[in-house]
Amino acid sequence: MNEPIELRVAVGNGAEVSALLLRPPNAQWVLVLGHGAGAGMRHPFMGALANELARVGVATFRYQFPYMEEQRRVPDPPLVLTATVAAAVRTAAEEAPGLVVLAGGKSMGGRMTSQAAAQNELLGVRGLVFFGFPLHPPKRPSTKRGDHLANVRVPMLFLQGTRDELADLKLLRPITERLGSLATLKIFEGADHSFHVLKKSGTTDAEVLRGLAEKTVQWAQPIVTTGD
């Protein structure tokens, strides 16, 4: 397995954040991958996911949000987060020429990516991948966080666990159905928001990670040409 290349992303006003590009030799796509609210791009889950995606031909461009880069606990305002997503997408396209650009992320990283896409800030991105879309806070069911998805104009892949407390499938499933052919929902039985499964489930976290990568590349197969 290749080692990721360390890069920098200019996010405006002279500020920069760190990034990691992992590009396998057979890559056809590059997935710009934002981290969750409480853990950065070097979190073990992010690294393991990047490795699994590399095994199936998907390069990854992981990056930090400014608050994480500066070791602050509270996430940046949404405008800063979506601007960072857009900057990461631009840098990834420059650093991985010739690859189809996808974008998304874990939890908050995915939601901020979808908001940037809904605001038409992600030119050139051909599809979005959400590893646990955070539809609502734990034990506070709501669909408001999904309202903007109707303004996204590229295919979206939702990868969700049945034990995810941040996305009641009874609420998320109708949203994806309303989005029609643009939305694909893949369910991981027994997985929580971190895609952890209990021992009694009969599967392992490693198998779930492998499944996330395989479902991603299967969904991405039709997206094989570059362009806006």
Largest Cα–Cα distance in the chain? 51
DSSP code, position 195: -
What is the per-residue pLDDT for 226?
A: 43
Tokens of 90: 């631009």
194 to 24, 63, 205: CA distances (angstroms): 25, 19, 9
What is the per-residue pLDDT for 228?
A: 39
Instruction: Dump strand ranges (E) for the chain.
Output: 5-12, 15-22, 29-34, 58-63, 100-106, 127-131, 156-161, 183-188
What sign has the CA pseudo-torsion 51, 215, 145, 181?
positive
Q: What is the dihedral of CA 91, 94, 96, 99, to 10 degrees?
A: 110
Closest CA to 69 of 89, 45, 88: 88
- The span from the CA of 51 to the CA of 40, in Å, is 16
Q: What residues are paired with 185 via a beta bridge?
A: 158
- The span from the CA of 116 to the CA of 60, in Å, is 19
What top-level class would CATH report for the domain 5-220? alpha beta
Residue with tokens 């021992």: 199
- The C-alpha angle with vertex 211 and arms to 205 and 216, in degrees rounded to 5, equals 135
- pLDDT one digit per residue (tens) for the chain, 228 residues: 678 999 999 998 888 999 999 999 999 999 999 999 999 999 999 999 999 999 999 999 999 999 999 999 999 999 999 999 999 999 999 999 999 999 999 999 999 999 999 999 999 999 999 999 999 999 899 999 999 999 999 999 999 999 999 999 999 999 999 999 999 999 999 999 999 999 888 899 999 999 999 999 999 999 865 443
What is the per-residue pLDDT for 12?
A: 83
Closest CA to 11 of 19, 22, 3: 19
Task: Return left, alpha or beta for 126; rule: phi > 0 is left, psi -120 to 50 is alpha, else beta.
Answer: alpha
Q: What share of the chain is helix, strand, coil (3-state, %, to 5)?
A: 35, 25, 40
